[in-house]
Chain A
């Protein structure tokens, strides 16, 4: 057996080599692609890729927030995110609709209330929280905490947002519904806009939030 090995070894190798060759020959026809055609296809795909890159990466990020709530606590998240995003150089729109409109209302924005009822963070039972005046108490408590903590007021955040180029928009339909006039709103707020304006910006935005 040991004497067979040297003979059969090379023979096997030769067979293996032969197999490999024939396999290669079988594949060859399939690989017969016109190099010019391949080059053209590569160029075509590269062009498409750069077009997609140009369309998606214009270097500037953008964000659209739809602000729908008008309670004191819910005025903060949209304004904080908007002013911070503006600091990043993003193109930011906050579209205020329904109760969110009160954040932009010069008078009402100063009187936004924190709801004591159904608020698990309030240290009082709902039956007590439902008593008249409890929302004012809860709001006063929160405002004091905010002052002590060095957190900005809603008014400061509105001014800051407008100063940093955030586009604060007031839904015209809700304006009409609530009977608000443009002059009731903070200076610099965009009026005469609707859902289509918001959607158009949302479609182009990297970040879209409903708050």
Chain B
């Protein structure tokens, strides 16, 4: 994981499915200031494509990184999104 940014807030959407990770991510970024970074932790495998699509199609947010992590036998899909405006 690159470290050229600092996570401001972490959003836990583990156990939630479409459309929740995207909608909650949107609500959480609304509460951020420009330049701040939101970490989204999901268990929904569809969130990899959905968060990418959402960030790409939405003004004011930029997808920095996505990663798959294994934690206690559970696959986590972690996304880092920066608020750009």
Chain A residues close to B by CB (< 8 Å): 59, 80, 83-84, 86-89, 149-152, 157, 160, 163-164
Contacts and interface: CB of A to CB of B under 8 A. Distances in A.
Interface stretch (B2-10, B31-39, B54-62, B64-72): B54-62
Interface of B: 15-20, 22-23, 25-27, 43-44, 54, 57-60
B16 A88 contact: no
A164 B23 CA distance: 8
Contacts of B16: 150, 152
A98 B36 CA distance: 45
A152 B22 CA distance: 13
Given A80-B18, A150-B17, A88 B23 contact: no
Contacts of A152: 16-17, 19-20
Contact of A87 (B17, B26, B59): B26
Contacts of A59: 59
Nearest to A84: B19
B24 to A, nearest CB: 9
A73 to B, nearest CB: 15
B53 to A, nearest CB: 9
A87 B18 contact: no
B17 A88 contact: no
A77 to B, nearest CB: 11
Contacts of A84: 18-19, 22-23, 54
A121 to B, nearest CB: 18
B15 A87 contact: no
Most chain B C-beta atoms within 10 Å of own C-beta, residue among A83, A87, A157, A164: A87
Given A150-B17, A151-B17, A152-B16, A83 B23 contact: yes
B23 A86 contact: yes
Contacts of A164: 23, 26-27
Nearest to A161: B23
A160 B23 contact: yes
Contacts of B19: 80, 83-84, 87, 152, 157
A88 B58 CA distance: 5
Q: Name the 10 nearest CB pairs between A and B, nearest first.
A: A87-B26, A84-B19, A150-B15, A151-B17, A87-B23, A150-B17, A80-B19, A83-B23, A87-B22, A88-B58
A92 to B, nearest CB: 12
Contacts of B22: 84, 87
Contacts of B58: 87-89
